[in-house]
Amino acid sequence: MPREGRFMSEEHQNIDPDLLLRPDKPIHLVGIGGVSMRALARMLQDMGAAVRGSDRDESVYTRQLCETGIPVFIGHSGENVAGAGLIIRTAAIPDSNPEIAAARAANIPVLSRAEAWGMIMKRYSRVVCVAGTHGKTSTTAMIATFTEAAALDPTVMVGGDLRSIGGTLRIGHSDLFVAEACEYQNSFLSFCPSVAVILNIDKDHVDFFKDTDDIILSFRKYALLTPENGLVVVNGDDEKSLRAVEGIPRRVVTFGMGEACDIHPENVALQDGCYRCDVIAFGKLWCCLKLSVPGKHNLVNALAAAAVASELGVSSEAFAKGIRAYSGVGRRFEFVKEWRGARVYDDYAHHPNEIEATLKAAKDLAPQRVICVFQPHTYSRTVSFLKEFAEALKHADKAILCPIYAARETNTWGISSKDIAKQIPGGEAVEDFAHAAKRLEELVRPGDMVLTMGAGNINHLASFLK
C-alpha cells in the first residue's frame, strides 16, 4: 500500500497529490533540462499528466523532451506559466525567477523537485533511497542493475546516465522504487524511504550547511523518515554516519571493510584492475563477488548494495550476477576515447575524497602515468577545500587545473585554480580547455591515462583532443 510522507514543508502539506495527474491543468517545470527534472517530466508524462517546462538554454535534453511531446520554452518569462495548475522548480531556481514570481502572483502552487518526487514515492510500498556525500549515483545504479536483472521490475531515478536503463529514469510496474537521494538543501527530507542507505557523511555543500554537525543532523532526519518496520543501511566504517544513526529507533544494518560490520568482505583481491571478494553477511558467506568497475570505493558501494539485496529478498546468485553486469554510469570513470596511444576517461569527482578515490582506482589499472585535468566546482568549495584539493591531486603523476566552474556563484573570494596548482609539485593552471588540450598534446605518451575530472563541463574537453 502507498505510504504517507512526513516531512513535506508546511507550505506544501495541503497540496493535493492529484495535481500531479490532472491532464487539464499543465504541470510546468522550471529548469526542466536538469538531470532529475527531465526524469521527473518523463515520469509525470507516463503517469498521465500534461507536462511542459522551461530552461535557460537549449540543449540536447530539451530537444529530446520536445521530441517526446513535452513542450519546452527556452528562457524564463512570467508568461510561460500562464494556465499551469502546478509549478515544479529545481533547487537552483530562486524566488526571484520571473516564472516563480508570476506563479506566486497567480496563486499557482509551487513545489520543489524533491517534494514532487516525494509525492510520487508515496505511490510505492518499497522505496530504496541512496544517500551519502560520495557514491550515491554509482550505488543507485548498482541497485538498479541487480534489481532489474532479478526481475523485480523497479522504477529507478538516478543522477547519471545508466546505459542499462537508457538514461536517468526507468519506469517499472512493480511496488519498488529505487532513488538517488541528495542532501543539498535538505532535498532528501522530502522523500519517504522504506530502506534508507547512508554511504558516508563528509563536509560538503558549505554554501548551505552551517557545519559538519548540521550535515549529520540532516542525515539523522533522513534516516528517521523510514517507517518503524523499515531499514537503515549505514557505513559501519564511517564515524560520522554512525553518529547520524546512533540510538535511532530503527533497524540498522552496517556494511564496510571492517570485520565488525554486518556485511563485509573477505579474501579481497585485484583481478584485471577490479576487485573481487567473498561477501560475508551476518557471519556467513553470502556470495562471491567480482566487480567490472575499478576502485575500492566501488567495492564498498557494492557492499551497501548487498545489504539492500538481502532486504529485498534477492538471491545471492542474482545479486552477484547483477553486480558483475554493472559497467558504470555516465561521468563515473567513464571511458571516452583512445587518443595518441593514451586512454581518456572522464569522472564527476569534485570533492577531495572523491578525487583521491578515483585517482587510486586509475592507478589500479596500471597505466604508465595518470595525467589529471581537474576543473574545480564552485568558488565556495574551492576556498573550503583548497589544501585538500592539492593533496588529493598529488595522487596523479601530472595535474592540470582548468578555471573554476562557477555554477550558481560569483567569485567574491578572489580565488582561482592557480591557488591549487601552486601547491602541487609540477601542477599548472591553464586559461581554458583549448590551452589544456595543447598541454596534453605536448605531454601525453602511449600508455598514459588522461583523466578529465569535475562536476562542471570538463567533459567537453575531450572534443578538443583531435
Q: pLDDT, tens digit, for every residue of 110-140? A: 999 999 999 999 999 999 999 999 999 999 9
Q: What is the pLDDT averaged over residues 317-326?
A: 96
Active site residue 180: yes
Sequence length of the chain is 466
CATH 3.40.1190.10 positions along the chain are 124-325
Instruction: Report how far residue 298's alpha carbon sits from residue 296's, in angstroms, rounded to the nearest whole number.
Output: 5
Residue with cell 602541487: 424
Domain 334-464 has CATH 3.40.50.720: no
Helix axes 386-393, 352-364, angle to 10 degrees: 0
Residue 319 has pLDDT above 80, yes or no: yes
Backbone angles phi and psi of 227, in degrees to 5 = -70, 170
| Edge-to-edge order in the sheet of strand 274-281 | 167-170, 155-162, 176-180, 126-131, 195-198, 231-235, 251-255, 263-271, 274-281, 284-294
Question: pLDDT band at residue 5, thresholds of 50, 70 and 90?
Answer: very low
Residue 7: its pLDDT value, please? 42
Query: Candidates 3.30.1600.10, 3.40.30.10, 3.40.1190.10, 1.10.10.10; correct CATH number of 124-325?
Result: 3.40.1190.10
Instruction: Among 160-164, 168-172, 306-310, 430-434, name the one with the lowest average pLDDT.
Output: 160-164
Tell me which of 62, 99, 115, 136 is the catalytic residue.
136
Specify the higher pLDDT residue, 205 or 156.
Answer: 156
CATH 3.90.190.20 positions along the chain are 334-464
Residue 19: its pLDDT value, please? 67
CB 32 within 8 A of CB 55: yes
Question: pLDDT band at residue 252, thresholds of 50, 70 and 90?
Answer: very high
Residue 22: its pLDDT value, please? 67
Residue 25: its pLDDT value, please? 87
User: What residues contact 311, with CB distance under 8 A and at least 6 apart?
Assistant: 195, 231, 233, 253
DSSP state of 48: T
Q: What is the pLDDT averaged over residues 18-26?
A: 74
Instruction: Report how far residue 24's alpha carbon sits from residue 220's, in angstroms, rounded to the nearest whole number.
Output: 40
Tell me which of 115, 148, 180, 183 is the catalytic residue.
180
Q: Which of 89, 177, 185, 172 is nearest to 130 (CA)?
A: 177
H/E element, 419:
helix 418-421
Tell me which of 62, 133, 137, 358 is the catalytic residue.
137
Give the cell for residue 99.
516564472
Q: Residue 345's beta-bridge partner residues?
A: 335, 451
Residue with cell 511496488: 175
Instruction: Report how far residue 200's alpha carbon sits from residue 212's, in angstroms, rounded to the nearest whole number.
Output: 12
Give the cell for residue 277.
571478494
**E-strand spans in 209-256?**
231-235, 251-255
Q: What CA–CA distances, in Å, run from 242 to 149, 164, 308, 335, 404?
A: 31, 33, 18, 35, 34
pTM: 0.90
Cα-trace Rg, the chain: 22
Residue 205: its pLDDT value, please? 78
Q: Which CATH architecture has domain 10-116?
A: 3-Layer(aba) Sandwich (3.40)
Residue 24: its pLDDT value, please? 78
Question: pLDDT band at residue 8, thresholds of 50, 70 and 90?
Answer: very low
In terms of Cβ atoms closer than 10 Å to its own Cβ (0-12, 13-18, 19+), residue 14 is exposed
Q: Degrees (nearest 5) of the Cα angle 180, 225, 306?
A: 50
Instruction: Report how far residue 120's alpha carbon sits from residue 116's, in angstroms, rounded to the nearest whole number.
Output: 6
Residue 432 has pLDDT above 70, yes or no: yes
Residue 6 has pLDDT above 60, yes or no: no
Q: Note the pLDDT tens digit of each residue in 47-61.
A: 999 999 999 999 999
The dihedral built from the CA positions of residue 146, 148, 153 and 159, taken in this order, carries a sign that is: positive
Q: What is the pLDDT averaged over residues 317-324?
A: 96
Q: Note the pLDDT tens digit of each residue in 356-365.
A: 999 999 999 9
Q: Note the pLDDT tens digit of each residue in 262-291.
A: 999 999 999 999 999 999 999 999 999 999
Backbone angles phi and psi of 308, in degrees to 5 = -65, -40
Residue 203: its pLDDT value, please? 83
Residue 14: its pLDDT value, please? 54
Residue 246: its pLDDT value, please? 97
Question: pLDDT band at residue 16, thresholds of 50, 70 and 90?
Answer: low
CATH 3.40.50.720 positions along the chain are 10-116
Q: What mean pLDDT, rounded, does the chain reach?
A: 93
Residue 373: its pLDDT value, please? 98
Residue 204 has pLDDT above 90, yes or no: no
**In percent, how much of the chain has pLDDT > 70?**
95
Active site residue 133: no
Q: What is the pLDDT averaged over residues 304-323?
A: 97
